[in-house]
Every structure is written in structure tokens, then in C-alpha cells.
Amino acid sequence: MERILTIESLAFGGEGVGRADGKVIFVPQTAPGDEVRVKILSDHGKYERAEVLEVVRKSPDRVDPECSVFGHCGGCQWQHVSYDAQLHWKQEILAGTLRRVGRIQDPKILPIIAASNPWNYRRRIQLKVDHQGRIGFYGQKSHDVVEFDQCRIADNLLNEKLLQIRGDAEAPEVGFELSLNGSSVVHVLEERNGEAIFSQVNPQQNDHLIKTALDFAFGNADKAFTKKKSVVELYAGAGNFSFPLAERAGKITCVEENAEAVRIAEEAAESRHLDHMTWVQGSAEWGLKKIYRNRETQNSIDVLVLDPPRRGAKEILDLVCVIRPRVIVYVSCDPVTLARDLNLLVRRHYVLDQVQPVDMFPQTYHIESVSRLTLRSESSLVESGGD
């Protein structure tokens, strides 16, 4: 079945959204304002999925993609949308998700922090190699390897290194990662065993993310005051937030499941003589229980910092509501799980003060954000029936 649609908005996931006959229709590679002729691919009751057959009238926000394999490669979804429009719709998607999923009325969302350069920002890329020796990224919703001349969102040094690898007679037969360490490219074969240590790929935007987390944790207070603060960080990784937090906190306990990440972080803490910093190796839930059972830290957490994976932090929120840290700083890479978790916290003991989106991944639909929640006063807890 074919339809003519006007695309009204963008959805988390990257697709354009149109409506016809009371149904929402999701259409990839469209921009709000496009008038398109589409073919319906599947009907899911309240919504349908379609593909573009023809762009009848282009949106003012539509631009020509800069990558020759855009639409086939799975790395980018929005190269056809102007950067200003990308920022606008990320802000709208985040706000709409907090209202719809989180049931949070009028969330205070600060203007998104744009990337100074929305191209060539990635300092780490993971490449796949198929049985024919082709090197590239997986395709859209497939495990087919899509080759490319250069990745327009990867640092040029990574593209140059990939060109050398392709020309090597002994090119890798398995997937591999390229990352920048200063101006040097590190080439690591894909790990078949063990979990990789997560690291941010956009250093400039990561700086904004860290600054926001620090501002939300400590405000404008000077170090003499913040040195009295007790901080707990869950899902700490190898210390992306931990070490900046340690510079301001009086005591900080960091929980991370990946043993290698903890080893690296502990060595760094020792070399910096951060005696007030403690690392706990284990799951966030197990680590928080251990901290709670320690009488010295029980009921004395001033700031709790969370940076969970995409699935969110659902497993630890009941215990968080028992411990009741005074401030929660929640770093999220997924608006849906963020909204779900904020809903629970706001229904129980917390007020959502503000949310700061940061555009870590231009040309994609991904939305990074930092939220600040504060504990409601004891009187308001009694009035609201909080436990």
C-alpha cells in the first residue's frame, strides 16, 4: 500500500513521523516538513512502518548527506537533517519523553549544548570484518558489513589509519577498534572474551558533560565547603566522572562491575594520592547494598552520581529511596529509561530540578543528558505519604 504523507516530527530511533487514518507512520530518512510518497511495510495496529519511494516536496531542514553510504551504514541516522534541526528535535524528544513516559509536567530542560564541530568528532570507532575481508560498520538493522571511503563522524587520523590497514596485505580477519591516544592511533583486535571498558568518544562534549555533573553535584560552593561532602558514584567505569568529583568531594566511593576498569582506576587514584577515594568492584546494586550496610556511610550520602548503561538504573532505585541521598545526579544516554527512573524517584522522595542535554553524537538520534534531583523536605514527605 502506498500513501502520501507530511512528516511532522522525528522520533527517538531516528525515524520521521507522519500520520494517516488515525495511525502513526514511522519513515526512516525523512525530515520534518517533507512531503513523501511511502510504501507501507508493516502494520502494528496503532502504528505502521514504511519506506520512502519519493520525496515529493523537500523540507527546508533537509540537507544532502555528506557520506556516500548514508542510509546503508548503521552509524548515522540524521545526516539528511540540518544540524540546527537535529538539536531542536533532540530537545523536543527529550521533553516529550519525560512528559509522556515519566509523567513529569513541565520538566525544566536547559538548552541543549551543541557540538562545536558536528563532524569528525569520534575518537574511537569499532570496525567489523566479514568473511570476504570487507572492513566497515554494520548496516542499518543488519550484520552486513558496509564499507566506506571515510567515516565523516570519525577523526581524520582514524580514517587515515583505516586506509593503511585496508592496504596491508595482512589486514585483520576479525573486528577491531581504532582509538586516539593523543595524536597516536591505537589499534586493538576485537575482544572475544570479557567486557570492554566503556569510554566517551567525543572529548569536547565529554568535557561539557563532566562540568555539568560537577555543577549539579556541588553548585557554586567553594572547595572548602564541598570538601565536607560525601559522594557515591555508581556505574563508575574507569573514572570519567570519578576523578573530577574527587577533586571537590571530601569522600568518594565509586562502584564499578568491570574488574579491569577498577584496577586501572585504583592505580590512577594511588598515583594521584587520592586517599579519600575508595573503589568497590561489583554490580551497582551489590555495591550500594555494601555501602548502605556500612554504618559510617549509612544515611550520610550527600551526592549520588549515576551513569548507568542504556537499560537505566531500575535495579538500584528502591534502595536509593531508602538511603535518600540529598542530591542525585543522573547521567543518561537513553531518554526512555531515564524517564521511567525519574518517574519513580519523583513519585517517592525527589524533585526534578533541571535537565541538561548534551549533543554527544551529532548526525545520530542519540541523546545524552544530565539530570539533577533534590530530596524533598521531611515535611513534604509526610504530606505526600512518602515512605
Give the residue numbers marked as catalytic.
333
Confirm if 177 and 124 have CB atoms less than 8 A apart.
yes
Q: Which residues share a beta bridge with 57?
A: 35
Triad 41, 46, 51: Cα angle to 5°: 25
Sheet hosting strand 277-281, strand order edge to edge: 277-281, 251-256, 230-234, 303-306, 327-332, 368-375, 350-358
Residue with cell 502494528: 44
| 155 closest CA partner among 198, 188, 185 | 185
Number of Cβ atoms within 10 Å of the Cβ of 194: 9
Phi, psi of 25, rounded to the nearest 5 degrees: -125, 125
- What does the H/E/C string look like for 126-148? EEEECCCCCEEEEECCCCCEECC
Confirm if 357 and 369 have CB atoms less than 8 A apart.
yes
What is the distance, to the nearest Å, from the Cα of residue 131 to the centroid of all Cα atoms in its chain?
32
What is the distance, to the nearest Å, from the Cα of residue 96 to the centroid of all Cα atoms in its chain?
17
Which grid cell sits at 57?
516536496
Phi, psi of 135, rounded to the nearest 5 degrees: -115, 130
Whole-number Å distance between alpha carbons of 101 and 340: 6
Which grid cell sits at 59?
523540507
CA distances from 135 to 138, 139, 168 (A): 10, 12, 12
| Runs of H (alpha helix) within the chain | 83-100, 156-167, 203-218, 223-226, 242-246, 259-271, 284-293, 314-323, 335-348, 378-384
